[in-house]
Structure formats: C-alpha cells, structure tokens
Structure 1
Amino acid sequence: MHTETYSLQFPYTTSAGQRVESISLKRLKVKDIKAVKKISDDPRNWDDALLSRMTGLVPEDIDEMDAQDYMALQKRFQQLLGLDNAAGAAVESAGPAGEVVSLSAE
C-alpha cells in the first residue's frame, strides 16, 4: 500500500493525549468512497470523512488541527484524488476576463 508522510507545521495533542507531529496519508480506495457516500449523497460533505479515512484520525482530532496544516492536507488530499487539476482546468478554459464596466447605483 502506498503511503506518504506529512509533517505538521504545528504539532498538537489530541483529546486522548496522543501527540501528533506527522500524519501518514494512505491512498484511498473505492471502498472508502462508498463508505462516505453512505453518510452523505452530497460530495461537498465528503472531504472531512475521506480525509479521516486517509489519515486514520477521527474527525474530532482533525477539528483540533491548526488551520494551516488542515488546508495543506486538504490540498494534498485533492491532489491525490486528481481534483486539483479539474478545478484549474475549468477556470483556465473559461478564457480571459472581460472589461470591467461601472454601473450606476440609481
């Protein structure tokens, strides 16, 4: 099984007293996605549950993580699922922004 380690910028201690300085990230499998789909049909609600399955941390421990580390892990999570390129490609394909036109407040 492929895993990688993320070293936290801001280590912390969980409510169970476990010191977390680094987190092992495992690649997700179809069974992980199926399990999360049972919790919610809305993909916007899947990030934390899938991140929990990827890291082995319970959601309550993820909630105690520093926001900077959380955002970095979320970005890595999206990269592993190939979601980061899809968002960038959608923005790039929209073309350049048009001219800004001021409107009257009347």
Structure 2
Amino acid sequence: MAEALHIPLKFPFKAGTGETISKLPVRRLKRKDIAAAQKHSKDDAVIEDHLLARMTGLTLEDLGELDIADSKVVTEVFREVVGGGDGSAVLGRGAAAGAADAAE
C-alpha cells in the first residue's frame, strides 16, 4: 500500500497536546463529514474549517494555529480534493498511488 499523502508545513507548530506538527495527513472526506460540519453552522467559512480539520486530523483550535502560508496550501489541497483530485497536484507531486483507481 502506498504512503498516504501529507502536506509538509513550512512553519511547524506545537499542537495543544504539546506535539510539534510538521506535516498533515490528507484524508478523503465523505458526505457524513459534510453533514457533521453543517450541524455546527450554516456559515460556509465555519463549515470549511470543520472539513479542513477532519481532512487533516487537526482540532479546530490547532487549525487556528496554522501559519497563514500553510493554511493557504491546506485550503488549496482541500479544494483540489473537493474537485475530485487527491491534492498531489497542489503539492507538486504525481498522483498518489491508488488515487486513479479510487476515482474510477
């Protein structure tokens, strides 16, 4: 099995747990993730924050600690994933192994 796609951070930070975060995993989202995010708010920005947190495994508090440059990349990966990609194009990589199979 291929290694999961990760977003390397230009500016690592210390999470609420005390762990230093230097890369974030990218998890494909499901409809149930959207439903869960919509339970918190009708505001698109709040919903997107919830989805970004689920995609990367961060808490909302830790998501708020991302440097703005890293936040921009996370958002770009999210938007590519929403469009059917796997995020690798944003990160300057070829598609992750299995991504083409998953899209079929």
Verify same fold: TM over 0.5: yes
Task: Specify every segment of 5 or more residues in structure 2 that has no aligned partner in the other structure, as ranges.
Answer: 85-104
Aligned to 1:56: 57
Cα RMSD (Å) of the superposition? Answer: 1.8
Deviation (angstroms), 1:41: 2.4
Structure with greater Cα Rg:
1
Identity of aligned residues (%): 35
Aligned to 2:29: 28
User: Residues 25-61 of structure 1: CA distance to partner in whole angstroms, max 9, x if unpaired?
Assistant: 1000011011111112233431110000111110111
Aligned to 2:40: 39
**Match of 1:66, as an amino acid?**
D
Task: Specify every segment of 5 or more residues in structure 1 that has no aligned partner in the other structure, as ranges.
Answer: 84-106
- TM-score of the two chains, using structure 2 as the length reference: 0.72
- TM-score of the two chains, using structure 1 as the length reference: 0.70
Equivalent pairs counted in the alignment come to 82
Structure with bigger RCO (C-alpha 8 Å, 6+ apart): 2
Structure 2 CA distance for aligned equivalents of residues 74 and 26 of structure 1: 13
Structure 1 CA distance for aligned equivalents of residues 71 and 45 of structure 2: 16
